Amino acid sequence: MTKLLLFLLLFPTLLIAQPRRIWFDTDIMIGLPERAPREVDDGVTLIMALRQTDKIDIVGISTVTYVDYGYDVTQKILGWYNKTGKTIPVYKGSPNATDTGVETDASRAIANALRKEKLTLLALGPVTNVATVVKNHPDLISQIDEVVVCAGRTPGFPFRPGLEKVTVGDYNFERDTLAFRVLFDAGIRVVLSGFECSSYTMLGKTDIDFLEKSANEGDRWLYAQLRPWQVRAQSLFGVDGFIPYDTTPLGYITHPQYFKYYPDIPVRINIKPNDSTIGASASLRTKPYLEVSQDYKDTKWRAIYAYKTLPGFEEIIIESLKLLK
């Protein structure tokens, strides 16, 4: 018997890939559109993440902006959908995403978790909580495997959902540009997966009808939140459905084979004429853009940039919602 065969017989569990340990930072605010902003993609992403226990292990969850509502709705979702067998702690972070460097329960919890082990930080909203940890605890930077965020674009790519009637902004980046500067200045491995990548997915009415008929209370609640947003999108964007933006940063971790990337691409913040036609920034003449291009030779900032979702990922999202009972 060879030494290799003997090793495999004695330690077979070492061959099984272990779930990736992640921290889930989110501006989750899933709810009805008349109470905007109550976008639903963070909620869908959390439920999807709870389904992927073979691929990821959620160490903790932190909220950013609308933190009280976010905390309550996260606990509600965990109560219905957390089948991991463990309690996942939830912490409140920056309430406005304008105070990078100010410690919160969330930043302290993330820092404590990083002191124990290396983690991937999945940041689905403004990255204020994560940047606060980086700014205040530079000794922990080496404990961060990577930060995966929903933001960024290639130059000239407009954020126009649906039938491209209106142009929206890069909310997560524009809400706290300083926080992104902190991450890139620190040399952290950053993955950008924003509108450009997510625009290849769309959840329509027929994709979620099964939730309305479910015997699970959580499924019926989820349908009651998602369906009004699809109807709203019909009048606003010309399509009856919504783009689940935040599922693609998660998908980079759980299903990387369904994405196309630009590895190690230069990143720059550029000030340009404002292209937003709706939203809080629509009245501004200019605004900052987080852009990636191989032509940016004058910047040291680098990122992995996911620019396209391949066929099949949308089905993974839907099946995740169907299978989690």
Report how far residue 97's alpha carbon sits from residue 246's, in angstroms, rounded to the nearest whole number.
18
Q: Note the pLDDT tens digit of each residue in 200-224.
A: 999 999 999 999 999 999 999 999 9
List, as one string, the DSSP characters of 37-103. Answer: S--SHHHHHHHHHHH-TTTEEEEEEEE-SSHHHHHHHHHHHHHHH--SSS---EEE--SSS--TT--
Q: Which residues of 175-207 are buried (b: 16+ CB within 10 A; e: fewer)?
A: bbbbbbbbbbeeebebbbbbbbbbbbbbbeeeb
Give the contacts of 258 (CB within 8 A, at least 6 positions apart). 251, 309, 310, 312, 313, 316
Angle at which helices 128-136 and 105-116 cross, to 10°: 60
Q: Note the pLDDT tens digit of each residue in 31-67.
A: 988 766 678 999 999 999 999 999 999 999 999 999 9
Q: Note the pLDDT tens digit of each residue in 224-269.
A: 999 999 999 999 999 999 999 999 999 999 999 999 999 999 999 9
Domain residue ranges in the chain = 18-202+243-323
Give the contacts of 256 (CB within 8 A, at least 6 positions apart). none
Tokens standing for residue 38? 């109550």
Q: Decide: 133 and 121 in contact? Cβ < 8 Å.
A: no
SS3 306: strand
pLDDT at 281: 76
Q: Give one word for 189, left, alpha or beta, with left for phi > 0 and alpha for psi -120 to 50.
A: beta
Q: Does the reported pTM lie above 0.75?
A: yes
Report how far residue 33's alpha carbon sits from residue 39's, in angstroms, rounded to the nearest whole number.
7
Fold of 18-202+243-323: Inosine-uridine Nucleoside N-ribohydrolase; Chain A (3.90.245)
SS3 239: coil
Residue with tokens 């902190």: 182
Residue with tokens 């709870």: 50
pLDDT at 35: 67
Give the contacts of 44 (CB within 8 A, at least 6 positions apart). 30, 203, 226, 244, 246, 247, 317, 321
Q: Note the pLDDT tens digit of each residue in 81-135.
A: 999 889 999 999 999 999 999 999 999 999 999 999 999 999 999 999 999 999 9
Helix (H) or strand (E) holding 148: strand 144-149
| Neighbouring C-beta atoms of residue 33, cutoff 10 Å | 18
Q: Decide: 238 and 162 in contact? Cβ < 8 Å.
A: yes
pLDDT of residue 165 exceeding 80: yes
The radius of gyration of the chain from alpha carbons, rounded to an integer in Å, stands at: 20
